[in-house]
Amino acid sequence: MLALDLPAHPRIVCPMPRTVLVVDDDPHIRQLLVFALGKAGLDTVEAADGEAALAAVEEHEPDLVVLDINMPRMDGLEVCRRIRASGDLPILFLSSRDDEIDRVVGIELGADDYVVKPFSPREVVARVQAVLRRTGGRAPAVSAPAIRHGRLLLDLDGWRAEWGGEPVVLTLTEFSILRTLAAMPAKVFSRDAIIDRLHGPGFAITDRTIDSHIRNLRGKFAALGATDLIETRAGIGYRLGACTG
């Protein structure tokens, strides 16, 4: 027999799939979302209540949580509070009520986005992917420069923020908004322009959501003495402040 000297097959390295934790007390909704997210190439973990959700976060370390607000025993708002107490894991809320109070409270707690029931599974998948795309840049091949402005430092590689050398823990959306403003500190961004930078044109999100994120940013930096982080231009939008404290 002849020995054929065949070229070795090139090694194909596949990116690690992202994992989404789906939390809802309705098994039919969980099944629907797990199927839709799986079709999009995402790994999924399920939890039927708040306590199981917190345990799943510890055990599986998901990349994002799809979290129902209205659950018995421990609701989604409390789960969000506990997750936010220990980190910046992205959270997308599901709400069964078209209740702006619920949505605003969720955003103020640090949620990155929300979807109101009844929803299209495609919409949930699209919003999940939009958030995960923003997290995908945490370890780029080429180091991105840091942004320094007054006492503010944004480490774009590490997704870290500092004020006067002190770290400030931000959610993904909060960091992305601040990075948008800091990249062009002289520019006044309308709320729509900020939404376009975060999600792309045509993404459905209210101005109140951006206002809530800005309020969160100001509150977190104010704890370190920052009084001029972001300027409001009445009737126009926001721009980065002097950041001198």
In angstroms, the CA 72 to CA 87 distance is 24
pLDDT above 70 for 5:
no
The dihedral sign for the CA sequence 84, 211, 64, 35:
positive
| 47-69 average pLDDT score | 93
**pLDDT tens, 152-193?**
999 887 888 999 999 999 888 889 899 999 989 889 999 888
**Residue 174 identity:** E
Q: Are 171 and 163 in contact (CB under 8 A)?
A: no
Q: Which helix H or strand E contains 93, and what residues bound it?
A: strand 91-95
In angstroms, the CA 5 to CA 132 distance is 44
The superfamily in CATH containing domain 19-137 is: Response regulator (3.40.50.2300)
pLDDT at 3: 39
| 130-137 average pLDDT score | 72
pLDDT at 242: 94
Name the DSSP letter for residue 1.
-
pLDDT at 4: 37
pLDDT above 70 for 200:
no
pLDDT above 70 for 9:
no
Q: Are 115 and 94 in contact (CB under 8 A)?
A: yes
Q: What is the distance, to the nearest Å, from the Cα of residue 184 to the centroid of all Cα atoms in its chain?
A: 22
pLDDT band at 63; cut points 50, 70, 90: very high
Backbone φ and ψ for 137, nearest 5 degrees, come out as -90, 15
Percent of the chain at pLDDT > 90 equals 45
Classify 125 as helix, strand or coil: helix
pLDDT above 50 for 56:
yes
Contacts of 241 (CB under 8 A, 6+ apart): 228, 229, 230, 231
pLDDT above 90 for 239:
yes
Which pair of tokens denotes residue 213? 């994120």
Lookup result for tokens 């002289």:
186
Least confidently predicted of 4-8, 36-40, 112-116: 4-8
Fold of the domain built from segment(s) 141-240: Arc Repressor Mutant, subunit A (1.10.10)
pLDDT band at 12; cut points 50, 70, 90: very low
pLDDT above 70 for 11:
no
pLDDT at 6: 36
**pLDDT tens, 212-227?**
899 999 999 999 999 9
In angstroms, the CA 34 to CA 211 distance is 32
Q: Where in the chain is the domain with CATH 1.10.10.10?
A: 141-240
pLDDT at 196: 79
How many beta carbons lie within 10 A of that of residue 73, not counting itself? 9
How many beta carbons lie within 10 A of that of residue 220, not counting itself? 19
Contacts of 185 (CB under 8 A, 6+ apart): 149, 239, 240
125, 69, 65, 120: CA torsion to nearest 10: -10
Instruction: Give the N- to C-terminal CA distance of the chain in Å, as an integer.
Output: 81
Q: Where in the chain is the domain with CATH 3.40.50.2300?
A: 19-137
Does the reported pTM lie above 0.75?
no
